[in-house]
Amino acid sequence: MQRVKFIDRMAQGKLTRREMLQSAGAFGVGLAALPRKAKAAGGPLTCLEWGGYDEEGYIGSYVAKHGALPDFSIFSGEEEALAKVRAGFAADVMHPCNYSVSRFVNAGLAKEIDTARLSNWADVFPSLQTAEGVVLDGKVVMAPADWGNSSIAYRSDLIDPAFAADPSWSIFYDEAYSGKVSMLDNELVIQIGAMVGGMPYGEAYNLSGDALAAAAKDWGTKGVNVSRFLWTDASEVQQAMASGEIVAAYAWNDLVKNLKAEGIPVEYAVPKEGMFTWFCGLTLLNSGKADEALAYDFIDAWLSPETGKYLIEASGYGHANRKSFEIADPAEVAAMGISDPDALMASAVLFLTPTDEVQVEQNRVWGDIKALKM
C-alpha cells in the first residue's frame, strides 16, 4: 500500500526530486520511473536560480503540468549570472533582485513580460507591481516573487521598555546602548543615520559629495562606535542575540523566526523612520532556446499562493502573492514578525539603487570610517 501511495504521489508531482530519490529504492521503484526534465520543441527550460530554490515546492504547478523540473544553473550573485549569460550561456529565466534588473535590461538580455499571461499577477501586492526594478521605461521586466524585511530585532526581556513602546533606528547611534547592539556591515549605517536625523530615505540612499561626508562623519562614526560588532554573518548575530550578548540588531525576518522557534523572547520592530523591504523576482531572458510558454508557466508557478505558502513556512520570507498569507500557517506568519501583510507592504520602504558612481563613493567612505575605528 505504501508503495502504491508513493508512486501515486510521485505521479501527481507531490514529491520533490530529492524525496523521490531518497524513497525510490526503499519502495523498489527504479530511477527510470522518476520524472525527467520537462522537454519542449526548443529544448528544456533553463533557469538561472539561487541555491535552495531549485526545488519542486517553489514551482509545483509547473511540475504538475510538465511532469518534471526544468534545468537549473545555480549562481551565487547576479553579477556572476550576468557574466555567464553575456558569455553565451542560454538561459530562459533569471531570478534577480530588484536592484540588479536594470543590469540585464541595459545589457540587452532581458525582455518585457506580458502580465496578461500570468494568472496570478492580479494578486501580487500593488506596491510591488510598480516598484523600482519591476517596471523600467514603462515596461514590466520582472515579476516580483520573494521578499523580506530589514528592521530591528530585539530581546523583549532585555530591552528598555521605552524602546519597545516607540521603536527607532536611533538605538544604533545611542551611546546608552554602546556595545549592546549590532549593525550590518554596510553603508546603510550612514543612510539610516541620516534618516534618524530627519532626512527622507529618498534622499539618504543617494548621498554623495559634501552631504555624504557630513553624514558619514556624524552618523557613520556613531554607528560604528556604538555597535558591539558590525555583522556580515547572519548566524553570528543570531547567536549573539540568543546568548544576550546584544539586545538589538539589524536583522531579517528569518532571524526572528529562528529565535522564536528556540523559545527566545525576540520581537521585530517597526521603527518610526520606516521598515525596509527587499524583494527579488523572475525575469525573462532573450538568450534561451525553450518555448516561451514554458517560461511563463515557470513564472506563474512562482507567483502562485501555494508557492507563497511553501516559501513562508519553509524559509520565513514573504511572498509577492497576497493570498499566500491567507493560506499559510498563521503561526509561521506571526513568527516572521508580521501581523498585517497588506499594511506592511503599503507602508514599506523599498530599497532603492543609487547610480554606480554614488555606490562606489559610498563604499569608499564607509570603508574609511571603519578603518578609523581599527
What pLDDT does 340 receive? 87
Distance CA 334, CA 341 (A): 10
**pLDDT, tens digit, 9 for 90 and up, residues 28-53:** 444 334 444 444 455 799 999 998 89
Q: For 150-275+351-373, give the CATH class.
A: alpha beta
What pLDDT does 354 receive? 84
Q: Hey, where are the domains in the chain? A: 36-141+277-341, 150-275+351-373
Would the pTM count as exceeding 0.95? no
What pLDDT does 42 receive? 57
| C-alpha cell of residue 137 | 521605461
The mean predicted confidence, pLDDT, of the chain is 87
Distance CA 109, CA 89 (A): 11
**pLDDT, tens digit, 9 for 90 and up, residues 81-127:** 999 999 999 999 999 998 889 889 989 999 999 999 999 999 999 99
Helices 234-243, 253-261: inter-axial angle, 10-degree rounding: 40
**pLDDT, tens digit, 9 for 90 and up, residues 295-319:** 999 999 999 999 999 999 988 889 9
Distance CA 277, CA 252 (A): 9
- Do 150-275+351-373 and 36-141+277-341 fall under one CATH topology? yes
**pLDDT, tens digit, 9 for 90 and up, residues 100-111:** 898 899 899 999
Distance CA 131, CA 150 (A): 17
Which residue has better confidence, 247 or 11? 247
Nearest to 254, CA basis, from 310, 313, 207: 313
Whether residue 18 has pLDDT greater than 60: no
Where do we find the cell 540587452? 108
Distance CA 72, CA 39 (A): 13
Task: Output phi, psi for 109, to 5 deg.
Answer: -105, -15
CATH homologous superfamily, domain 36-141+277-341: Periplasmic binding protein-like II (3.40.190.10)
Confidence of residue 19 (pLDDT cuts 50, 70, 90): very low
**pLDDT, tens digit, 9 for 90 and up, residues 204-260:** 999 999 999 999 999 999 999 999 999 988 889 999 999 999 999 999 888 998 999
| C-alpha cell of residue 314 | 519553509
Q: Which residues contact 1 (CB under 8 A, 6 or more apart)?
A: none
Distance CA 242, CA 55 (A): 31
What pLDDT does 17 receive? 37
What pLDDT does 374 receive? 57
